Amino acid sequence: MTIYGYRVPMMASLIVWCLIWELVGQSGVMFLIPPLSSILASAVTMVQTQTWQAAALITLHSFVIGMALAILVGVTLGVLMGRFKAVDDLFGIWVNIFVSAPLSALVPVLMILFGMGETTVIVTVFLFAVWIIVLDTRAGIRHVPTSLIEMGRSYGASPFALYSKIVLLAALPEILAGIRLGLVRGVKGVVIGQLLVSIIGYGELFELYSRSFDMENFWALTIILFAAAMLMSAAIEHIEKKVEYYAGVR
């Protein structure tokens, strides 16, 4: 975008919105929206507190375990569904139901199954992230050209080599897209799990700040979470672009 011949950098629109936020905050019309500058200031002090660091660690812990499981199970199931019709028939309907189901409604049920602790949060992250990974992996496997698989077979690839050296790599762009979307859903999952169930980690802090109407800290928490989710997503997108470059001709 150019204005009066000057090239406006990509993030310029963000600056405009930050300014508007700051002005609204300074005017003091809504106590829900404090000035951005004071939010950032409280973010800086917050990240230095023991409470925040402990909460972030607990949250990260649940998130990483849940995501790792979701990627492992999601990619495996997606590959099996993409390659074998029987598996596809068996799981297809469930994956398609769950990918669009309002999973938050299930969280209380999970609580009964897995208790009030971290397990429930991990399961929530898993359930939020796994389905889109399954669907995207399946689509990627379906798009692997038949001739590439025939090439592997005719040059004597073992079943393991066929998958590790050909099929998974050929489907990598779609698998990565699934993981990126799964990550974003997993972030939702971890917060919802912590809010609804065990009131630990980030969920506990959200609860604390919103109840006491401590809006500076509440927004600081939110912004940090958004930034983390966007950074992860951008990192995967970066890898995706590289992979797509190499997979340009298919």
Q: Which two tokens stand for residue 60?
A: 């990260």
Using rule CB under 8 A, residue 227 touches another protein? no
Using rule CB under 8 A, residue 250 touches another protein? yes
Q: Which of 79, 127, 135, 170 binds another protein (CB under 8 A)?
A: 170
Using rule CB under 8 A, residue 157 touches another protein? yes
Q: How far is CA 109 from CA 113, 116, 135, 191, in A?
A: 7, 11, 25, 17
Q: Which of 85, 143, 153, 241 binds another protein (CB under 8 A)?
A: 153
Q: How far apart are CA 38 and CA 54, in angstroms?
A: 23
Q: Which of 17, 84, 226, 246 binds another protein (CB under 8 A)?
A: 246
Where residue 200 falls (left for φ over 0; alpha for ψ -120 to 50; beta otherwise) is beta
96 versus 150: smaller Cβ distance to another protein: 150
Q: How far is the CB of 167 from another protein (least distance, A)?
A: 11
Q: How far is the CB of 169 from another protein (least distance, A)?
A: 6
Q: Which of 69, 148, 184, 228 binds another protein (CB under 8 A)?
A: 148
Question: Can you tell me which residue has the tokens 């905050």?
Answer: 25
Q: How far is CA 62 from CA 7, 45, 115, 191, 231, in A?
A: 43, 25, 15, 10, 18
Q: How far is the CB of 143 from another protein (least distance, A)?
A: 12
Q: Which of 72, 101, 161, 227 binds another protein (CB under 8 A)?
A: 161
Q: Which of 33, 169, 184, 223 binds another protein (CB under 8 A)?
A: 169
81 versus 167: smaller Cβ distance to another protein: 167
Cβ atoms of residues 121 and 197 within 8 Å: yes
Q: How far apart are CA 86 and CA 92, in angstroms?
A: 10
Instruction: Note every long-range contact of 223-226, with CB atoms under 8 Å and residues 24 or more positions apart, other chains counting.
Output: 223/39, 223/43, 224/43, 224/47, 225/187, 225/191
The footprint of another protein on this chain (CB under 8 A) covers a number of residues equal to 24
Using rule CB under 8 A, residue 176 touches another protein? no
| Residues of this chain that bind another protein (CB under 8 A) | 145, 147-148, 150-158, 161, 165-166, 169-170, 172, 243, 246-250
